Chains A and B, each alone.
Chain A
Amino acid sequence: METIIQTADLVKRYRGRAAVDHLNLSIGKGDIYGFLGPNGAGKTTTIRMLLGLIAPSGGQVEIFGKDLRKERLDILRRVGSLVESPSYYGHLSAVDNLEAIRRILGAPKRRIAEVLDIVSLTGEEKRPVKGFSLGMKQRLGIAAALLGSPELLILDEPTNGLDPSGIQEIRSLIMSLPREHGITVLVSSHLLSEIEQMAGTVGIIRQGRMIYQDTIARLRERSAGEMRLVVSEPEAALEEAFRRGYDGMLRTDELRFSGMDDARVALLVKALVERGHAIYRVEEQRQSLEELFLQVVEGEGR
């Protein structure tokens, strides 16, 4: 897969303290990359460096295979961004806000109506933006990011401060972008639950260091939990399981098995049924991703 963003040992120091510390970020084309970390971990600092808003203290950023320092304008022409709190000109209407950006980008005029439609702000476009709700401002920010028909979209906490329906709306919008327009998306958040439903790959950053970077499927695997069986005669059933080489245990009259793939679950259930056990429940008990996230954030990287 083609790599869109690649950073090599990216460092940003503020007065000797490293806000971003040897960060190696790698984002593939067409992916939705969830950039996760607690508040103050260095997400926004990293994103500002990716956009050339602040200068790295060390390391390199390559976007579309080009060096950001040398070809910043060429790269930015293909990037749309929304950094932290939405930026807007409150005294101007939504259309004029977009027009101010359109004039700089040189995008066609009809693009304004298109992006307003994408973020469903059509009908509100003539009102001054200062009267907009936070969610509408956030959507206007996304519209502005989409205005130049970017190939890469960088969204920093796009759902911050939104209500659940707003979050849902923006989430489905983000998910539709790679599918419909082939856009690569980098989206940051401090909540895994927000990211896990849309991201293909996640990178977890803590105190400026990348402590986990892999696909969301892998992360799920790591959180694979125990199989829990509730049967009529637990003790006899456990003996039967032991005989067949299953490694389980009995806890509060329930059988627990760890590390079971589908085939082994099926075989065990079949064997137990054949032995005349009544099986009431077969459940997988997962460690939630959020728990895993906290564990990764707190446990590793020390």
Chain B
Amino acid sequence: MGRILAADWLKIRGKGLWLLILVGPLGLTAMQALNFGLRFDYMKRRYAGDLWGGLLDNTALFVPMALFLGGTLVCSLMANIEHQTSAWKQLLALPVSRIAVFASKLMLCLLLLAVSCLLLSGFVTALGLLFGFGASAIPVYGILRIGFLSCAAVMPFIALQLWLSLAFRNQAMPVSIGVICAIVSPFTATLSEWLPINWPYLAWTGPHRLYFAGAGLALALLVLLPGAAHFARKDVN
């Protein structure tokens, strides 16, 4: 597994994946820089009791959307490296189990998303400090979970995207699904909390946020099983 991951690590070089990983959190932070920067006095008054909390809450509104879009693109770009010249037939004729190949792609995808979440935490912290919210008041746990908990809750979606992206050469379907989810997600918040599309946001707010993150991970495993089984059995043409 480690050897395949090392190979995959090499292959994503120069494909724009790292750029995407950087641009996602940078964009989210830039939005808040504008949001706060343009009406700084108003925002400062509004969140007077908890400046950091206000910044995080405002950021968190857009994290699910970014995760849907980013996850889709990461999966699709990664799969495309193999699809482009039908490199699957070369890769899968090597002495590696298909499950290991699938697992390696999953690991790489999670790794990239984790880096992105970490960058988001870093950028938001930097922005807060820049605004002078005070280093002593930094809510470390809140800053870490802004990306990571939502990321855990978005896992079923990532598992589905990975499956579709790896299984089908035509990336139109997975990318469409991803974009639709990203666009629709802000408007489904009023619907049932049983809908997985709401989980990334629910994993940030409310008393049961850990449940939603946990439910995300559990459902992701359920989606991964058929995905991996299909990948292991499918004919490579």
Contacts and interface: CB of A to CB of B under 8 A. Distances in A.
**Are A and B a genuine interacting pair, yes or no?**
yes
Given A54-B236, A103-B6, A92 B87 contact: no
B90 A144 contact: yes
Contact of B93 (A51, A88, A91): A51
Given A83-B93, A99-B10, A90 B235 contact: no
B4 interface: yes
Given A103-B3, A103-B6, A76 B11 contact: no
Contacts of B236: 48, 53-54
A83 B90 contact: yes
Interface in B65-118: 81, 84-97
A54 B234 CA distance: 7
Contact of A101 (B7, B81, B86): B7
Contact of B95 (A73, A83, A91, A100): A73
Given A92-B10, A92-B11, A54 B237 contact: yes
Contact of B10 (A54, A82, A83, A103): A103
B14 interface: yes
B10 A77 contact: no
Given A55-B233, A103-B3, A89 B11 contact: yes
Given A96-B10, A100-B10, A87 B89 contact: yes
Interface string B1-39: 001101100110111000000000000000000000000
A89 to B, nearest CB: 6
Nearest to B236: A53
Contact of A85 (B85, B92, B233): B85
A104 B7 contact: yes
A207 interface: no
Contacts of A55: 233, 235
Interface string A63-100: 00000000001101101011111111111100010011
A53 B95 contact: no
A87 B86 contact: yes
Nearest to B96: A104
Contact of A77 (B11, B13, B90, B95): B95
A84 to B, nearest CB: 7
A108 interface: no
Contact of A54 (B6, B11, B90, B235): B235
B182 to A, nearest CB: 27
Contacts of B85: 85-90
Interface in A30-55: 48, 51-55
A144 B93 CA distance: 11
A81 B89 CA distance: 9
A81 B95 CA distance: 11
Nearest to A74: B95
Most buried by A among B86, B91, B95: B95
Contacts of A83: 89-90, 93
A76 B14 contact: no
A101 B11 CA distance: 10
Contacts of B94: 76, 101, 104-105, 148
B3, B86, B89, B235 — most chain A CB neighbours (10 Å): B89
Contacts of B235: 48, 53-55
B93 A53 contact: yes
B84 A53 contact: no
Contacts of A73: 95-97
A249 to B, nearest CB: 54
Contacts of B86: 84-85, 87
Given A51-B93, A53-B92, 8 more contacts: A54-B236, A81-B90, A83-B90, A87-B91, A92-B14, A104-B96, A141-B90, A148-B94
- 6 closest A-B pairs by beta carbon, nearest first, are A87-B90, A54-B235, A76-B95, A53-B236, A77-B95, A87-B87
